[in-house]
């Protein structure tokens, strides 16, 4: 399924990332965000997104969709095919916003929530008209480059809505993974939380600095994870005997007291200052915008490298990237047709048939 008009509710880092991906796929977007700085913030994200996409498409980008800033949620969603909600992670706020979306959006419009941890069942209770069309569509930052989106249905979500949402996300170059069971924080954030919790202990206990920990990830297993994930990597580590040998060899270590995953260090000012200070030493020479450019360039380079693997078919995110760039290239080569011309073309056969009759 393709969409021609989308609405974005919330224009923060994630909301603006959705806006960028949609616009750069030629989709018109109406956005609502009460922040007086919303326009500037979205524009900053758009600059970064366009820069990254020019690296992927040096011959030119597709015609960008039209962005409008709505004064109300009702105005933003009035004629949208698809709505992505990206407001802060407060259930009371989600209820208020989703209830308003549900009241004013077309009945057939799919509503996706960018929540990183709230179950859809807990959110859709506020939707009195059409709770069946709500899904979680949890992306990862930057939304305009990273293709993964976790799709989760709630107790009232229709299976058809999940399928339509999956098709919508796939149509804008994403890799939708439907989570089989509704659970807080879904899958990606649960994995991240485990690594984050152990990382806090390692820093607090003086085992390593934030820079040393990041180096261990980015020079080591992070490179393996980027192209194979966890289980495929471990299957290879098992040698010719595969996963069974790996499990037999390393399974016993699960009983060893290596991690502190069942505990968490006290989150106090001392820990915040320790980590923030080390982070300043590590990255303080770059502004956030400079780091975003570095991040985007690295992501494009990694995905482009992976797109050349597997005898040119691409591997993992690289295979999806290859198809996405090809799709965007076709979109860029397609001549722009005005809405008036499209309407005239659509009406032409009807007029001819009437005249013949």
Instruction: Tell me how far apart the alpha carbons of residues 3 and 123 are, in angstroms, rounded to a whole number.
Output: 24
Place of tokens 């900053």: 44
Place of tokens 């009702």: 74
The answer to whether the CB of 27 falls within 8 A of the CB of 65 is yes
The answer to whether the CB of 271 falls within 8 A of the CB of 265 is yes
Query: Is 12 annotated as a binding-site member?
Result: yes
Query: Is 153 annotated as a binding-site member?
Result: no
The answer to whether the CB of 295 falls within 8 A of the CB of 286 is no
Pull the structure tokens for residue 50.
């366009």
Q: Which contacts (CB < 8 Å, 24+ apart) does range 181-184 have?
A: 182/119, 182/120, 182/121, 182/152, 182/153, 182/154, 182/155, 183/119, 184/117, 184/118, 184/119
Instruction: Tell me how far apart the alpha carbons of residues 145 and 141 are, in angstroms, rounded to a whole number.
Output: 8
The answer to whether the CB of 214 falls within 8 A of the CB of 195 is no
Query: Is 14 annotated as a binding-site member?
Result: yes
Angle formed at CA 179 by CA 237 and CA 73, multiple of 5 degrees = 135
Instruction: Tell me how far apart the alpha carbons of residues 166 and 160 are, in angstroms, rounded to a whole number.
Output: 10
Query: Is 15 annotated as a binding-site member?
Result: yes
Pull the structure tokens for residue 150.
């976790």
Query: Is 11 annotated as a binding-site member?
Result: yes
Q: Is 277 helix (H, G, I), strand (E, B) or coil?
A: helix
Q: CA dist 34 to 44, 71, 72, 112, 198, Å?
A: 17, 8, 8, 20, 37
Binding positions for NAD(+) are 10-15
Binding positions are 10-15
């Amino acid at each position: 399924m393709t969409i021609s008009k989308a609405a974005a509710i919330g224009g923060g880092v994630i909301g603006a990332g959705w806006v960028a991906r949609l616009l750069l796929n030629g989709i018109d977007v109406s956005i609502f965000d009460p922040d007086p700085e919303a326009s500037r913030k979205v524009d900053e994200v758009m600059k970064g997104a366009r820069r990254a996409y020019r690296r992927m498409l040096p011959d030119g980008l597709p015609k960008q969709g039209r962005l409008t800033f709505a004064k109300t949620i009702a105005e933003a969603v009035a004629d949208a095919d698809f709505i992505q909600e990206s407001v802060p992670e407060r259930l009371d706020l989600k209820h208020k916003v989703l209830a308003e979306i549900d009241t004013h959006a077309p009945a057939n419009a799919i509503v996706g929530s960018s929540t990183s941890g709230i179950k859809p069942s807990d959110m859709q209770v506020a939707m009195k008209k059409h709770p069946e069309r709500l899904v979680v569509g949890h992306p990862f930052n930057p939304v305009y480059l990273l293709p993964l989106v976790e799709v989760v249905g709630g107790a009232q979500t229709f299976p058809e809505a999940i399928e339509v949402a999956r098709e919508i996300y796939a149509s804008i170059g994403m890799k939708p993974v439907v989570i089989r069971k509704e659970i807080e924080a879904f899958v990606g954030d649960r994995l991240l939380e485990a690594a984050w919790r152990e990382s806090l202990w390692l820093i607090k206990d003086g085992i390593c600095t934030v820079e040393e920990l990041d180096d261990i990830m980015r020079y080591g297993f992070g490179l393996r994870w980027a192209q194979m994930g966890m289980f495929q990597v471990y299957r290879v580590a098992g040698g010719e005997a595969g996963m069974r040998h790996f499990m037999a060899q390393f399974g016993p270590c699960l009983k060893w007291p290596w991690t502190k995953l069942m505990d968490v260090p006290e989150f106090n000012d001392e820990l915040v200052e320790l980590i923030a200070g080390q982070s300043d030493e590590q990255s303080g020479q770059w502004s956030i915008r400079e780091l975003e450019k570095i991040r985007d360039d690295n992501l494009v380079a990694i995905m482009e490298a992976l797109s050349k693997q597997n005898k040119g078919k691409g591997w993992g995110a690289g295979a999806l990237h290859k198809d996405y760039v090809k799709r965007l290239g076709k979109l860029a080569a397609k001549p722009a047709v005005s809405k008036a011309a499209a309407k005239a073309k659509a009406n032409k056969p009807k007029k001819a048939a009437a005249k013949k009759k």
